[in-house]
Structure 1
Amino acid sequence: MPRTLRFDAVLIQAVIAGALSFAHLHDLAAAAGQDGWKAWAYPVSVDLLLVAAWRRMRADAGNRDAWLWFAIALVASLGANVATAGMLDMNNVPAWLRIVVAGWPALAFLGGTLLAHAHTPTPQPEPAPAPVEHRDPEPVADLTVERAPEPAPELPPAEPAPQEPDPEPAPVAPAVTVPPALLDHARKIADAHHAQTGTPIDAATLRARLGVPPALADSIALQLA
């Protein structure tokens, strides 16, 4: 597809400014005694030195020599523009200006040579990114909480079955026959013991008090109970 032409205002302005600066440098060189093709070579030399210094500054912003030669070329261009604006008598140029114009080719050659052979810093390679270590994902703990089984519904307590009263034990007949007199004496001892201690007399104490055999003492205690 054919490209459409588009006018760039900045580019047009740069062409006009360059043409005017070129003409002013030519007129100043011609007024300083550099006639013919030499007068046209001076603007080319100034502009080329200006461009070379600018390119070196773009490549190495810390190069002081590039800034110096850029300033020299810019002063030469601005000086020619101001000088040709009526500040100097172009028909009677001072001697110092003739010397500057005559020495400019050597100065421009020195600046161009230094700029062309200036050391260009080597860009440092960017460090390679550290390899990313791929790790297997750690197993995620199962946070599922097991629900405890629900307790069975409580049943109402069963009513206890009515219990029949225990039958009263039948009185045990004394194994040994106790004489009535001995039984009366034993009852007196038991009453005295109960009055003193507040507890019924047992068979062992009764046997010790009466001095009777164990079987007889048991029979007496059974009858006194």
Structure 2
Amino acid sequence: MAARLRVDAVLVQAVIAGALSFAHLHDLAAAAGQDGWKAWAYPVSVDLLLVAAWRRLRSDGPSRLAWCWFLIALVASLGANIATAGFLNLADPPALLRLGIAGWPALAFLGGTLLAHSAGHRIPDPPAPAPAPVAEPDSTPEADAEPEPRSAPDSEPAPTPVEEPPALPASAPAVPAVLVDHARKVAAEYRDRTGSPIDTDTLRARLGVPPHLADAIAAHLA
């Protein structure tokens, strides 16, 4: 409720100030010899130029063009308010005032045209940074060649190679320990009965597992 009252008060104040400025501009134009509808057209022209310049400032940002015509319209409106307050003899206005009132339509037309059709000044977006170059691997023969193993001295015996169990393939499925123990029992029973190690197909048939899992279990039993 308080916000609504505040907005209404601002609007009422704007209407009152606009009406007073409108009347002062009309009186000044009428005193300068512009009678009839022409005297009413002057305040409309001044206020429209002021609004157009302010809208340009709000939409496109600060610019010399918009500020120039905003100040011209503001001086015209403020000057009319001051002139009608008794600082000038409106019964016999000076020639400079008559000259300004007579030249205002052309000046306002020029300002409105420039504000409506000139391109707004916008700051261009900064260019996107270029991607960093990717270092290519060294493909020279010296880099690809593997270092040759050094031969052991004649006075030292060559180390006996240690046989390691075959490594499981990287994509081999995980086999539960319980299933491996059961497979060992089946393989031992087969070796005792036949005298030869069990093959993968027989192991798969005895355990009832898919081929890829049978290969993984056989790798554990090797």
Indicate the TM-score class for this superposition, using the shorter chain for normalisation. 0.5 to 0.7
Q: Percent identity?
A: 75
Q: Residue 62 of structure 1: CA displacement?
A: 3.2
- The aligned counterpart of 2:62 is 62
Corresponding residue for 2:113?
113
Gaps of 5+ in 1: 129-225
TM value normalised by structure 1? 0.51
CA distance in 2, matches of 1:86, 1:24: 12
Aligned to 2:50: 50
- Per the alignment, residue 8 of structure 2 pairs with 8
Aligned to 2:87: 87
**Per-residue CA distance 1:79-116 (angstroms, 9 max, x = gap):** 00000000001100011100100000000000000000
Cα 1:56–1:7 shift into 2, 3 Å: closer
Aligned residue number for residue 103 of structure 1: 103
RMSD over aligned Cα, in angstroms? 2.2
Aligned length: 125
Closer, same or farther: CA 63–91 of 1 in aligned 2, 3 Å: same
Q: Is residue 60–residue 122 contact of structure 2 (8 Å, CA) maintained in 1?
A: no
CA distance in 2, matches of 1:113, 1:123: 23
CA displacement at 1:8 relative to structure 2 = 1.1
Indicate whether 1:22 and 2:15 are aligned: no
Distance 1:7 1:59, change over 3 A: closer
Q: What's the CA shift for 1:61?
A: 2.3
**Secondary structure, counterpart of 2:67 in structure 1:** helix
Structure with more of its chain in helix, by fraction:
2
TM-score, scaled to structure 2: 0.52
Measure the CA separation in 2 of the matches of 1:87 and 1:80: 10
User: What SS does the aligned partner of 1:8 have?
Assistant: helix
Q: In 1, Cα distance between the equivalents of 2:85 and 2:74?
A: 17
Distance 1:15 1:126 in 2: 44
Match status 1:37 vs 2:37: yes
Contact 2:53 2:66 in 1 (8 A): yes
Secondary structure, counterpart of 2:92 in structure 1: coil
Indicate conservation of the 8 Å contact 2:63/2:121, yes or no: no
4+ runs of 1 displaced by more than 4 Å?
4-7, 121-128
Identify if the C-alpha distance between structure 1 residues 79 and 93 changes in structure 2 by more than 3 Å, giving closer, same or farther.
same
| Structure 2 spans left out of the alignment, 5+ residues | 129-222
* Partners of 1:5 and 1:86 in 2: CA distance: 36
**Using the alignment, how far apart are the partners of 1:54 and 1:31 within structure 2?**
29
CA shift for structure 1 position 123 = 7.7
Larger Rg computed on CA atoms: 1
